[in-house]
Amino acid sequence: MTDPRMDFLRKLETTLSGTFTAVQVSLISGSVIKALDDYELTERCTDLALMDDFNERTLKRFMACLRLDGKSERTAYQYRRSCQRLSDLTGKRFDEIGPYDIRMMLAQDMERGLKASSIENQRANLSAFFQWLHNEEIIDRNPVARIAPIKYTKEVRKAFSEVEIDALRSGCHSLKDRALIEFLLATGARVSELASMSVSDVSTETMTVHIRHGKGSKERITYISDVALKHLLSYLHSRKETGSALFYNKNHEPLTADGIRFILNEIAKRSGVDNVHPHRFRRTFATGLAKRGMPVQEIQILMGHANINTTMVYIAMDDTQLAASYKRHTA
């Protein structure tokens, strides 16, 4: 195999010959030989198709593993977006990327004015991806392991107040709008879970909701209130669709997670309530149960959380509530 250093020297001498004399070229070449003695040179690969093919095939394998682990399409998309951006930015194969490349990407995000929390999410996504590459023995070590997590002040996410809930109810323009709002408030279901539900998953006899497609492909049972069930039945009796899905869109197709988000955004605009999204309904559900005295372990089961610490993040208690609870339990 040809030594890349010799190819480099021949090209260097050819380039210099047009400007310098033969003696000068010989002297320069000799100096360069000495300088290169402690280095290994490799020829740069300009075949972008090969790099792109490797990265694309690797990402497809990673996406397949995420789905097998029960990750949602939305979560998988976030991982893929971070990895694809790194690939596009560096122009390198994933097995050639080092800590410096990743730091450059994160620094660029900072210059673009992204929030520290968003940049930390990027770092965490890349760390999970490269750890997977390491576990698959595609790389020797995870380059993100050398990069410390980005510190940021966590935003206090609040549940809806009673005033905001009343405003949201007033912003409903149809039986479907109201049924959606009440269902989310009463069950604590995730938007992906709600989008996959059938009419048969709701029992009017036991007042239960069977969530068959929970996070991590786990099933669970939660409950529905009298008020929520009343509005759900009103919607079901009024709709024209006869299919099995719990909610349908205007085109008579099963309502998707994005479709639910769109309806909530429209209700938010009409009601004047800010920061209306499905997870805030889950937070309101958990906080409301905690205020009424339900043990956090039971809330954890209803929420479908594997770790009780995750449930605690959802429960927002203010100082007045904590003080009242303290007095109640110490009196």
Tell me how far apart the alpha carbons of residues 80 and 64 are, in angstroms, rounded to a whole number: 11
Reported as a single tens digit per residue, the pLDDT across 69-85 is 877 788 889 999 999 99
pLDDT 10s digits, 97-136? 999 999 999 999 988 888 888 899 999 999 999 999 999 9
Tokens representing 86?
């790194």
Contact indicator for 296, 264 with CB cutoff of 8 Å: no
Query: Within this chain, do residues 28 and 62 fall inside the same structural domain, yes or no?
Result: no
Number of separate domains in the chain: 3
CATH of the domain at 206: 1.10.443.10
Q: Is residue 56 part of a domain?
A: yes
Q: Are residues 219 and 265 in the same domain?
A: yes
**209, 224 contact by CB (below 8 A):** yes
* Digit-coded pLDDT (tens) for 157-203: 788 999 999 999 999 999 999 999 999 999 999 998 999 999 999 99
Query: Model's pTM, two decimal places?
Result: 0.62
| Residue 131 shares a structural domain with residue 167 | no
Q: Is the predicted pLDDT of residue 38 greater than 80, yes or no? A: no
Residue type, 270: R
Other C-beta atoms lying within 10 Å of the C-beta of residue 146:
12
Residue 41 counted as domain residue = no
Q: In this structure, is residue 273 part of a structural domain?
A: yes
3-state secondary structure of 315: coil
Residue 82 is part of which domain span? Answer: 48-146
Does residue 244 form part of some domain? Answer: yes
In a domain, 306, yes or no: yes
Residues 139, 197: one domain? no
Residues 291 and 232 in one domain: yes
207 HSE (CA, 13 A, CB side): 9
Beta bridge partners of 208: 203, 223
Is 176 in the same domain as 254? yes
224 inside domain: yes
Better-predicted residue by pLDDT, 47 or 304: 304
Q: Is residue 237 part of a domain?
A: yes
